[in-house]
Amino acid sequence: GSLYFYPYFMYFTCTCYVSYLCTRCFIHLHVISHLYIWDATHIHTRWLIPVHVIFHSHTLDVTYLCMED
């Protein structure tokens, strides 16, 4: 899964439910946050993704569910 935001997020801010599925642990890591496209590395994704990948050496599949504000 891609760890980048999809292009259509560019034109609005949104409240997102972000689900990370670890493809080896098969556990879900969830974040609900207010996103701005120009701040794609906001505090939640900036820490959640590297910590899990580094300490577990696994990859994450990411799903975004957003509603436009």
Q: Is residue 28 part of a domain?
A: yes
**20 in Cβ contact with 61 (< 8 Å):** yes
Cβ contacts of 1 within 8 Å, gap of 6 or more: 21, 23, 59, 60, 61, 62, 63
Residue 64 above 70 pLDDT?
Answer: no
Residue 9 above 50 pLDDT?
Answer: no
- Which range marks the domain in which residue 12 is found? 7-68
DSSP state of 30: E
Predicted model pTM: 0.38
Q: Is residue 2 part of a domain?
A: no
Report the run of H or E that residue 51 belongs to, with start and end. helix 43-56
Task: Report the DSSP beta bridge partners of residue 63.
Answer: 19
| Count of structural domains within the chain | 1
Q: Is residue 1 part of a domain?
A: no
Q: Give the residue with greater pLDDT, 27 vs 35.
A: 27
Residue 54 above 70 pLDDT?
Answer: no
Greatest mean pLDDT among 1-5, 48-52, 57-61 lies in 57-61
What is the per-residue pLDDT for 25? 74
Q: Is residue 31 part of a domain?
A: yes
